[in-house]
Amino acid sequence: MQPLHIASLPKAELHMHFESSLRPATASYWATRYGLPLPQEGPFQGLSDFVVAYEGARDLVRSLGDVRRAASELVRDAAAQGVVWSEVHLIPPTYAGRLGPEEGIVEAVLSGFADGSSQAAAEGARPSAAGLIIGINRGLGLEAAERSLALAMRYAGEGVVGLGLAGDEARFSASPFADVFRRGREAGLSALPHGGEGAGAESVRTCVEDLGATRICHGVRAVEDPTVVALLRERGVSLDVCPHSNVSLRVSPSLEQHQLIGLLEAKVKVTLNSDGPLFSGATVNEEYEAAHMKMGIRPDGLARIARTSIEVSACPSPLRQEALRGVEEWLEKQSAFADSDCVTAD
């Protein structure tokens, strides 16, 4: 199996978290500047271990200027990876007002995205842009969920593309948030919850049936129940999969044994994403490389995953059409040779 030039493959990255996508150099600079510890890197012993690290990353963001800088760097880094469109999760209520009104945080992120896109273009990179997913923390309850919904609805069509759900799914079901997501969908927001990571296949089913999810972040534990796999396939729900993160949090035993392989064989739509490179140590391109080198997915399978990532995203046209053409051009350049025992995504 030969390495491929993944950076030249146009793709969308649909599952990444704002705070865990900080540049390591920026995180280190802020830790020194503010006299704070750097957050722990993976692997983690479990979700509680990871939450401590994640909150440490969020603590490093001390001003709206920091927010804009991180958002701008995110888009510039994405452009260098061949990512034409990013969708980024953020839960403003978790800042508990320390950066001012939550609207200010959203506007700082969107401003940073625009700045990063302009700078990437000036640097000669492939065009790249980003949308924001306003999240709900399961553990904060319905009052905080209503605040996130109001924010998402206010900025729908102005850079906010979806409503997310994160937190401890083993302790907090998605079901209580069904009405919140219904109203979000009616306002044109995609339902993009986490599921099937800290809890099993039934959590994935709940996200689909109760929340109306069109994509699910992770979702890999759907393989534990064939009826849930069938549900995903029949409804065309896509899973935003993050293999390195899954291994880091012990959701998967190894990259070689990752659930992605079974999902592809079951004809479930999947995309590849980094989740949080600050913690997993892997970029989206390294996720594609691992899928090829460690899971045996051929170039045509990788192209299919990249194509899916663009098709199921909120990527605007004509950027979408240009990216889809680029995927086909990338595939044409690859060698026709493929190992007979490789997995495809067709």
Residues annotated as part of the active site: 197
Across the chain, the runs of DSSP E, i.e. the strands, are 11-17, 83-90, 129-137, 160-166, 190-195, 215-218, 238-241, 269-272
C-alpha 109/C-alpha 160 separation (Å) is: 10
Q: Tell me how many degrees the CA angle 41-114-26 measures, rounded to the nearest 5.
A: 25
- Closest to 315 in 3D by CA, of 2, 9, 13: 13
Residue 47's pLDDT band (cuts 50, 70, 90): confident
Give the confidence band of 341 by pLDDT, cuts at 50, 70, 90: very low
Distance CA 126, CA 128 (A): 6
Residues 6+ apart with CB under 8 A from 185: 191, 212
- Please say whether the beta carbons of 74 and 114 come within 8 A: no
Domain annotation for the chain: domains and CATH numbers: 6-333 (3.20.20.140)
Where is average pLDDT lowest: 74-78, 285-289, 332-336, 338-342?
Answer: 338-342
Q: What is this structure's pTM?
A: 0.94
Residues 6+ apart with CB under 8 A from 196: 203, 204, 207, 216, 218, 219, 220, 221, 222, 239
Q: What percent of the chain has pLDDT over 70?
A: 96
Mention every residue, 6+ apart, whose C-beta is less than 8 A from residue 227.
Answer: none
Average pLDDT over residues 3-29: 95
**Segment 130-152, tens digit of pLDDT:** 999 999 999 999 999 999 999 99
What is the distance between the alpha carbons of residues 178 and 16, in angstroms, rounded to a whole number? Answer: 23
- What letter would DSSP give residue 88? E
In the predicted model, what is the mean pLDDT of residues 99-105? 97
Give 343's DSSP letter.
B
**pLDDT of 345:** 60
How far is Cα 105 from Cα 98, in angstroms, rounded to an integer?
Answer: 10
Instruction: Tell me the C-alpha distance between 153 and 184, whole Å.
Output: 7
